[in-house]
Amino acid sequence: MARERVIREPKAIPAVLDPAEGTKKASAAKPARLPVTEGVDSVLVRPPLREDDDSVIKDLRPKRFAEYIGQSTVVDPLGIAVRAAKKRGEPLDHVLFHGPPGLGKTTLAHIIAREMEAHVTHTSGPALERPADVVGLLSNLKKGDVLFIDEIHRLSHAVEEYLYSAMEDFRVDFMTGSGAFAKTISLPLEKFTLVGSTTRAGMLTAPLRERFGLTYHLEFYTDDELTLVVKRSAGILGVKVEAEAAAEIARRSRGTPRIANRLLRRVRDYAEVGGDASGIGIEPDAAVNKDMAAEALRLEGVDELGLDRLDRTYLQTLAVNYQGGPAGVEALAASLNEEQQTLVDVVEPFLLKIGFIVRTPAGRRCTPPGMQHAGEVTHGKSAKGTQQARLV
């Protein structure tokens, strides 16, 4: 009896370890997903959406490459690769998207699946905690399926090693048993496409990064591109927005479509109720004008450069309390009563982008445009004088 307990397969190993028996079980099972481990419960398996689906109508994400606005240096070569792979009847090479959050990495992953007429399985790096999680996930993929892993840089090393052979040879090797009864089992996989998304490409290990056949960096959007995004989203939401109002929202969106859509929703709310509790908003056929959009965004705490309250507080603290710097991020975090990582990941990137601060070995410094803007904010003046500091 003791011998039988030693060689028995672990419960965490999927039932498809035996190819002959596994095929039979898989065909009899429901097509949703195989019962693997608890970690895979957070994984969503999404079939291709129909164009007439109600969820598609209200979703602001583009569904095809033709609808995608901006990122031409990414969309054009990616579209060629997708069409070529589809013409050959092969899965697309593995794709890695990296860049700041909110620029469309997840959207592009779902567009790839839709253009390839394939199912997409959406998960994230932190959700795959154990090797059994990724083995069960990979064993459920069919030929041509797309596996999208968001924040792929947060995968554990043990899970990442299983992806090496899966991405390159489309198989997974793992050990069962222990001691004298240990053996290696090779699980063949269907050819699939792995799409990875990360905001920190530098944290990816070289072996994983080199296994992606297509690697693209997403850039911040220009104001003109964001204006088109706002107009498209307004049409989906059923909101009439004048051209100047759309440009005003785009100008305050920090080069990010996700922020533009969020601000558009807040402008819509303001327009519907007239900015007060009376519930009397604009006429149904009227359009949101520039002044109304500016007032709505002012109430949200977003100024003419796209800075929110935390951005302005950071800038004023550095400019006034520390006389422009240099100041360490630890001191700034203590002064603002904020987490250090929040300042590094959320606040500083945009201030660096528009040239209001610089990072030096001695600490953070406030540039002359940043000092000017901090002074104007402190005295309640307009920020129009600093428009030349923005990057278009």
Q: Sign of the C-alpha dihedral, residues 56, 58, 59, 60?
A: positive
Do residues 6 and 89 both lie within one domain? Answer: yes
Range of the domain at 116: 2-217
The tally of domains found in the chain comes to 3
* 88 pLDDT more than 80: yes
The answer as to whether 369 is a domain residue is yes
Q: What is the pLDDT of residues 33-61, one digit of tens each?
A: 434 444 333 333 344 434 333 443 358 88
Chain mean pLDDT for the chain: 79
Q: Spell out a b/e string for 220-256, using b for 16 or more CB atoms within 10 Å of the CB, else e.
A: bbebebbbbbbbbbbeeeebebbeebbbbbbbbbbbb
Residue 199 annotated in active site: yes
Do residues 292 and 180 both lie within one domain? Answer: no
Do residues 39 and 80 both lie within one domain? Answer: yes
Model pLDDT, residue 376: 66
The answer as to whether 193 is a domain residue is yes
The answer as to whether 304 is a domain residue is no
The one catalytic residue among 133, 150, 303, 311: 150
Do residues 109 and 196 both lie within one domain? Answer: yes
Do residues 26 and 168 both lie within one domain? Answer: yes
Do residues 147 and 256 both lie within one domain? Answer: no
The answer as to whether 359 is a domain residue is yes
Do residues 160 and 291 both lie within one domain? Answer: no
Do residues 133 and 260 both lie within one domain? Answer: no
Residue 150 annotated in active site: yes
The one catalytic residue among 106, 121, 193, 386: 106
Model pLDDT, residue 285: 63
Judge whether 374 and 205 are in contact, CB under 8 Å.
Answer: no
The answer as to whether 344 is a domain residue is yes
Do residues 284 and 317 both lie within one domain? Answer: no
The one catalytic residue among 123, 199, 227, 256: 199
The one catalytic residue among 105, 114, 254, 364: 105
Q: What CATH number has the domain bearing residue 62? A: 3.40.50.300
Q: What is the pLDDT of residues 335-368, one digit of tens each?
A: 899 898 888 888 888 898 888 999 999 899 999 9
Do residues 118 and 136 both lie within one domain? Answer: yes
Domain boundary among 299, 329, 354: 299
The answer as to whether 283 is a domain residue is yes
Domain boundary among 191, 217, 243: 217
Tokens of 289: 């004008």
Residue 317 annotated in active site: no
Give the residue-averaged pLDDT of 3-14. 41
Q: What CATH number has the domain bearing residue 275? A: 1.10.8.60
Do residues 238 and 295 both lie within one domain? Answer: yes
The one catalytic residue among 211, 231, 254, 258: 258
* 140 pLDDT more than 60: yes
Domain boundary among 157, 186, 217: 217
Do residues 179 and 318 both lie within one domain? Answer: no
Q: Spell out a b/e string for 373-391, using b for 16 or more CB atoms within 10 Å of the CB, else e.
A: bbebbeeeeebeebeebbe
Look up the pTM and report it.
Answer: 0.75
Model pLDDT, residue 377: 63
The answer as to whether 6 is a domain residue is yes
Q: What CATH number has the domain bearing residue 325? A: 1.10.10.10
Name the burial class of residue 12, with classes exposed (0-12), middle (13-18) and buried (19+) by CB atoms within 10 angstroms of its CB.
middle
Interacting residues of 217 by C-beta distance below 8 A, sequence separation 6+:
74, 98, 99, 201
- Structure-model confidence comparison of residues 275 and 97, the more confident one: 97
The answer as to whether 174 is a domain residue is yes
